[in-house]
Chains A and B, each alone.
Chain A
């Protein structure tokens, strides 16, 4: 089945220690998104890639970076995690941008714990 895969499902890191979360997709979609979801809150978009074009949300901290080496993979890098960065990180994909009713397909998420 075509899908969105996130690894690892759970990640523990230390305060200030860089961490990378991984997302891959077999849907061959052009767009990949990263969301942050804190406990009991709505998912919040951090940034997205349209093909190789990176688009950062205005309020995404500089501490968060992303890489997309090819169509299938996208990485979220947190350069110096703080306690406030503990959250579920969701990766999503969509076929395109701006098409009517374009659906985003979500992965299972990676839960990040910062000690």
Chain B
């Protein structure tokens, strides 16, 4: 159990367009989801924490108007990269917790974004 999926697995877009990435918990309800980005050969950096039904909490330095996060249901969170630019190209990974008290995060397979 505790499977998390992401869609799409990769996306190429033109500079200036917006891209939406979905993160789904397939076999459990996720009260909390997290969004990370990972540059090549680097570690994961937390972007934001998303709780179902409330506004996301962004980490310092992450532009909330640039990276829109919506956690509309207990199984779905979306990350929209608005007006994407080449510097937004990265590997975006989501994770989910089954409940707030749980200590383990379950990770999705990631989405590779390339902005031309």
A and B: interacting chains? no
